A and B are shown apart, each in its own frame.
Chain A
């Protein structure tokens, strides 16, 4: 039974997580970039570089195309809001945060989809060739990635008999330590979806300057200053959210239990460690892989869907 004292704490911690994710997300991006630099024999710009970029962008004057409509202007705020919300409702340090009660996995996928719809519409709003090109490719990638993501989440839902993220995490992290073969397949599928949805190599290249090969970057080519800053920040938050989902589903161990506020410091330390490891792993993946031809992306994401369905099947067959 939750006491008033607990509720107050919960609200405080929810606020803390909101702040934590929004401040920590650029650091994660910086960490991934720095790891890549090290792996490529470069010295790199340092883990704080994304913050410097954000500061620079917020200090600039925005340039907006003459024919841009309100859609183009509001999209950065909507995308940023969506990603912030997504990153804030995933239970990463404690399971009983107030927002988490609203965190249904289907709703979460919906939040991501909402951001995508707006950014694609905004890309087409100003009518440049690159914007439409990027939006078209984004849709090609995401309509394949989304079902795979849902399948991954459903596998976890089947095990915990709930689509509520806190329930899923609670079941997986605390009740008994079992290796679920179904989750192993789901984890593989999830990594593929993470790469595709976050515009990473081998599906997209976040650092490219080649406008004809871009997917995500092509959509945001016309954004500048604060709008671009918000979108960049939202991209960091999205990566953070995805890695958080990965941690919540596959390695939630160490997360603070309901009412166990004393476990929080350890939970935070463990979370940071997991994020560092995941970021380094992402950097390794991106360094050893080349970008694939865009028409290979459906095969790649088809594999993710197949793996996720296999996970589901294994759960049915073995009950694990």
Chain B
């Protein structure tokens, strides 16, 4: 039992990862969060759901994590004034999630200090909440002028640079407000939420297999992680376990996704210090991986290969041979490139000491995933909560404690080599057959399931709630970017303005993944 509290009764979910769920009234919420925090635990996700049609009010869901596993707390809130105590004092990462829960569902964290809107940009009225079941889209859409109260920094010589949401390059839209003195950054404030697509609302009218397709498109660079997390949640509700072949296949795809993204990022990091040579080399390698993906699995980014119930792809002996060759090639090439990066004085001068996140701050604010491991936050779902087949793989976690750009580069290199090793090991265990996957077509009624997968960026969580007919009533995909974006604001303090793009790229967070 991960949490002991007299007012909390936890039941274990039959999940691939250790997970529990339980109901708690708002007055004990703060206490339990504090208890988890004191025990070294973290906040994974916070979201809400509307159960007024089932005779309730609203539910606030909070997923916490400690060394024993995941705990998903359900907090019933009244339909009239759905208020709950602010938990951002315990978990600072909760701040934006709470503000998003208000923008989307009207759940209000009273006692809190920061009630500015987060995902709402004047596209719908302040008094209407899209995720409520009685939301009337036609009556709510509007074009309110944008006004967002940024925190002002005052003093002689301080001025602001507004950057974005439209950028000079082809990246996602996001607004960054720098308060600077000379070239020194005093404060950075992000304003995201320019890519709201209504994904969470869209899930409500979908079948379980259609939902898998949508989940795989939450964040294109993490499509495997999302598809697996969604499938894991659905399988948790249906209490089924996919065949071992399917699980090995999923792990193979996940590691391939990690390799492709790390290669791409290492190239981008070279490009951001104007070492275009590194950019071109790493992207040639990434392209090779993507082409092999297309040839072997039918999709460059491996979309829709993982579905609830199994996988829709297989790998024959010839395919294994191609992947083995690719692993050997990458192993050799990346080692050469790593030497070049390591020995290039100009590159190291830019990387070392830039954008530092001290381990203490990282722990306090809940930095997670790859960036977290570069700041000594030793969390990796493949290690701590190894679901099959990772329980048979003995993943070596890559950690580093400097927390600067150089550390995030080192962790990427280490994880890349580890992923190559894992791919080889997976291939030994992967048997080839053409069996049709036992696809999940229907989920049991009134179920709840949760999936947690260590994507390349960090832990990706998907939670599924089903209704009376086994339909999807609420699906919440959670991106690790939620936790890590606020750390970027801290990482850039006291750095110089021209170093921001490099620091930003070293985190490479998703704008879209945290704005569904």
Q: Does A213 contact B (CB under 8 A)?
A: yes
7 contacts between A and B (CB under 8 A): A41-B280, A130-B161, A133-B497, A209-B170, A210-B501, A287-B277, A291-B273
* A133: B residues at CB distance < 8 A: 161, 497
Q: Does B142 contact A (CB under 8 A)?
A: no
* B169: A residues at CB distance < 8 A: 209-210
Q: Which of B169-192 contact A (CB under 8 A)?
A: 169-170, 183
* A106: B residues at CB distance < 8 A: none
Is B501 a contact partner of A129 (Cβ separation < 8 A)? Answer: no
Closest to A221 in B: B168
Closest to B176 in A: A212
Q: Does B163 contact A (CB under 8 A)?
A: yes
Which of A40, A202, A210, A212 makes the CB contact (< 8 A) with B346?
Answer: A202
Q: Which of B161, B344, B349 has the most CB of A within 10 A?
A: B161
Q: Mark B258-276, 1 if CB is under 8 A from A, else 0.
A: 0000000000001011111
Is A36 a contact partner of B276 (Cβ separation < 8 A)? Answer: yes
User: Once bound together, how far apart are the Cα atoms of A130 and B178, in whole Å?
Assistant: 12
Interface with B: A8-16, A57-65, A292-300, which one?
A292-300
User: Once bound together, how far apart are the Cα atoms of A282 and B280, in whole Å?
Assistant: 19
Q: Does B160 contact A (CB under 8 A)?
A: yes
Is A211 a contact partner of B163 (Cβ separation < 8 A)? Answer: yes
Q: Does B108 contact A (CB under 8 A)?
A: no
Is A294 a contact partner of B183 (Cβ separation < 8 A)? Answer: yes
User: Once bound together, how far apart are the Cα atoms of A213 and B168, in whole Å?
Assistant: 11
Is A295 a contact partner of B183 (Cβ separation < 8 A)? Answer: yes
* A212: B residues at CB distance < 8 A: 161, 163, 497-498, 500-501
Q: Mark B133-168, 1 if CB is under 8 A from A, else 0.
A: 000000000000000000000000001111100011
* B275: A residues at CB distance < 8 A: 289-291
Q: Does A23 contact B (CB under 8 A)?
A: no
Q: Does A42 contact B (CB under 8 A)?
A: yes
Q: Does B402 contact A (CB under 8 A)?
A: no
Given the contacts A129-B160, A211-B167, A212-B163, A290 and B273 also touching, CB distance less than 8 Å: yes
Q: Does A308 contact B (CB under 8 A)?
A: no
Q: Does B350 contact A (CB under 8 A)?
A: yes
* B277: A residues at CB distance < 8 A: 39-40, 287-288
Q: Mark A234-261, 1 if CB is under 8 A from B, else 0.
A: 0000000000000000000000000000
Q: How many A-B residue pairs have CB under 8 A?
A: 80
Q: Does B281 contact A (CB under 8 A)?
A: yes
Q: Does B438 contact A (CB under 8 A)?
A: no
Closest to A292 in B: B346
- Chain A interface residues toward B at CB < 8 A: 36, 39-42, 129-130, 133, 201-202, 205, 207-213, 221, 287-296
Q: Mark B483-514, 1 if CB is under 8 A from A, else 0.
A: 00000000000001111110000000000000
* B272: A residues at CB distance < 8 A: 210, 213
Q: Mark B406-417, 1 if CB is under 8 A from A, else 0.
A: 000000000000
* B496: A residues at CB distance < 8 A: 293-295
User: Once bound together, how far apart are the Cα atoms of A290 and B346, in whole Å?
Assistant: 5
Q: Does B347 contact A (CB under 8 A)?
A: yes
Closest to A41 in B: B280
Which of A130, A207, A288, A292 makes the CB contact (< 8 A) with B349?
Answer: A292
Please list the 9 inter-chain residue pairs (A to B) with the smallest Cβ-Cβ separation, ordered nearest first.
A209-B169, A290-B346, A291-B274, A210-B501, A40-B280, A213-B498, A129-B161, A205-B274, A290-B273
User: Once bound together, how far apart are the Cα atoms of A221 and B169, in whole Å?
Assistant: 12
* A207: B residues at CB distance < 8 A: 276
Q: Does B336 contact A (CB under 8 A)?
A: no
* B498: A residues at CB distance < 8 A: 212-213, 293-294
Q: Does B284 contact A (CB under 8 A)?
A: yes
> Could you tell me the distance in whole angstroms from the C-beta of A105 to the nearest C-beta in chain B?
31
User: Once bound together, how far apart are the Cα atoms of A201 and B279, in whole Å?
Assistant: 15
> Could you tell me the distance in whole angstroms from the C-beta of B162 to the nearest C-beta in chain A?
6
* B183: A residues at CB distance < 8 A: 294-295
* A289: B residues at CB distance < 8 A: 274-275, 346
* A292: B residues at CB distance < 8 A: 346, 349-350
> Could you tell me the distance in whole angstroms from the C-beta of A191 to the nearest C-beta in chain B?
16
> Could you tell me the distance in whole angstroms from the C-beta of B339 to the nearest C-beta in chain A?
15
Closest to B160 in A: A129
> Could you tell me the distance in whole angstroms from the C-beta of B263 to the nearest C-beta in chain A?
15
Q: Which of B268-300 contact A (CB under 8 A)?
A: 270, 272-277, 279-281, 284
Is A291 a contact partner of B350 (Cβ separation < 8 A)? Answer: yes
> Could you tell me the distance in whole angstroms from the C-beta of B120 to the nearest C-beta in chain A?
26
> Could you tell me the distance in whole angstroms from the C-beta of A217 to the nearest C-beta in chain B?
8
* B273: A residues at CB distance < 8 A: 290-291
Given the contacts A133-B497, A212-B497, A290 and B274 also touching, CB distance less than 8 Å: yes
